[in-house]
């Protein structure tokens, strides 16, 4: 637990843990088989206070929600609470907050942050989607892809080039309702995270009013980087907790599975593997907590967040992969939880910044 939270947060953790265990986990296998995001359950999460702007509570939710056994669903909730909502709160006008933020916090609307493009992922400077100023507002054209929640979103926070300046300058954020005929969204079929409803977005002469810009003109890069910091930070808490949950489930399997006259957990080779995984997860957890405490206190922990994205995410991915190995043949079966967790875990070192990008960013901070 984040041991320096105020005492009342412990009660909130117990509430979230109970809701996950009794209200979400029994239903998650159904969502996964249907490969659908359960909108009605998202509304229930909002009623249970899981969609909020409280950063400490969101840290607890990040650790507890993945235990519902649908990482795609948990990811979708995290995007709303830790990416979309804070951007609206920090950058939105009073009218924008009323139209988009308030219904999101009530679970009545979902948003998606649309940045990546077919030819521009981590390379933000290569974004090609354009926003042309008109008498009535803006006209947007371009394509976004690999966007979490795009297929279920009611609105988009979308990055587009507003000025001819190349590179990282000249890009702005816009709030775009998806109901327009000029916005086409296609759901993407992925290896894992099926319930996250990722999609491709095509804007064709999309006309929006002048007051649709979110924040200041030309500041999209800074806004997106701040959002990515939050996403990586809360994601670190989530993925380590999820990997620990996977390892705990695997240990129960090892304690009940017999071979050569004893249970698997009594074999030294397996015991040492489990000890090693627990050690690496604890190291990742403490890195996460250190950065999270500093962030709550207003410190600049961008370097540490890059380290989280590099180390904690890779550690979680490695642990889940080892859980498959320890289950043997049964863990390789398509419908087994371990197989699904493995497919979901593969995204950890792809989304929100690859290890190569994180290493380069850390090297910049180290001035080497």
Burial 257-288 (b: 16+ CB within 10 A, else e): eeeeeeebbeeeebeebbeebeebbeebbebb
Which residues make beta-bridge pairs with 213?
A: 174
Measured distance CA(118)–CA(187) in Å, rounded:
15
Q: How far is CA 52 from CA 24, 205, 211, 238, 309, in A?
A: 18, 34, 25, 16, 23
Q: What are phi and psi of 38, to 5 degrees?
A: -80, 95
Measured distance CA(258)–CA(200) in Å, rounded:
47
The yes-or-no answer on residue 108 being catalytic is: no
Strand ranges in the chain using DSSP code E only, listed in sequence order: 111-114, 130-133, 137-147, 155-161, 171-177, 183-187, 199-209, 213-214, 258-259, 262-263
Reading the block at residue 152, the tokens are 């279920």
Closest CA to 221 of 126, 363, 355, 296: 126
Q: What are phi and psi of 179, to 5 degrees?
A: -75, -15
Determine how β-strand 130-133 pairs with β-strand 137-147: antiparallel
* From 63, 117, 231, 304, active-site residue: 231
Q: What is the CA radius of gyration of the chain?
A: 21
Beta carbons of 215 and 89 less than 8 angstroms apart: no
Determine how β-strand 111-114 pairs with β-strand 155-161: parallel
Active site residues: 231
């Amino acid at each position: 637990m984040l041991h320096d939270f105020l005492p009342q947060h412990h009660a909130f953790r117990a509430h979230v843990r109970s809701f996950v265990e009794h209200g979400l986990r029994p239903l998650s296998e159904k969502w996964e088989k249907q490969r659908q995001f359960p909108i009605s359950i998202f509304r229930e999460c909002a009623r249970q206070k899981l969609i909020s702007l409280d950063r400490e509570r969101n840290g607890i939710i990040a650790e507890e929600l993945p235990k519902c056994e649908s990482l795609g669903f948990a990811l979708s909730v995290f995007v709303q609470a830790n990416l979309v909502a804070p951007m609206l709160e920090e950058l939105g006008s009073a009218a924008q907050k009323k139209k988009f933020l308030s219904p999101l916090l009530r679970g009545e609307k979902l948003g998606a942050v649309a940045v990546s493009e077919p030819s521009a992922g981590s390379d933000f400077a290569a974004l090609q989607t354009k926003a042309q100023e008109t008498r009535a507002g803006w006209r947007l054209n371009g394509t976004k892809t690999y966007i979490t929640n795009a297929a279920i979103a009611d609105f988009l926070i979308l990055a587009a080039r507003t000025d001819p300046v190349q590179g990282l300058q000249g890009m702005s954020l816009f709030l775009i309702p998806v109901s327009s005929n000029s916005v086409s969204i296609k759901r993407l079929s992925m290896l894992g995270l099926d319930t996250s409803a990722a999609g491709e977005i095509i804007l064709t002469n999309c006309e929006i009013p002048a007051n649709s810009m979110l924040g200041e003109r030309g500041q999209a890069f800074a806004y997106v980087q701040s959002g990515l910091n939050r996403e990586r930070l809360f994601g670190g808490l989530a993925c380590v907790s999820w990997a620990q949950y996977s390892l705990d489930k695997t240990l129960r399997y090892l304690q009940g599975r017999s071979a050569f006259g004893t249970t698997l957990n009594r074999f030294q080779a397996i015991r040492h593997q489990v000890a090693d995984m627990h050690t690496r997860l604890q190291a990742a957890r403490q890195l996460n907590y250190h950065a999270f405490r500093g962030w709550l206190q207003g410190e600049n922990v961008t370097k540490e967040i890059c380290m989280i994205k590099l180390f904690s995410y890779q550690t979680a991915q490695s642990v889940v992969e080892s859980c498959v190995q320890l289950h043997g043949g049964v863990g390789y079966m398509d419908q087994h939880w371990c197989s699904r967790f493995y497919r979901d875990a593969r995204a950890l070192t792809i989304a929100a910044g690859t290890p190569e990008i994180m290493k380069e960013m850390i090297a910049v901070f180290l001035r080497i």
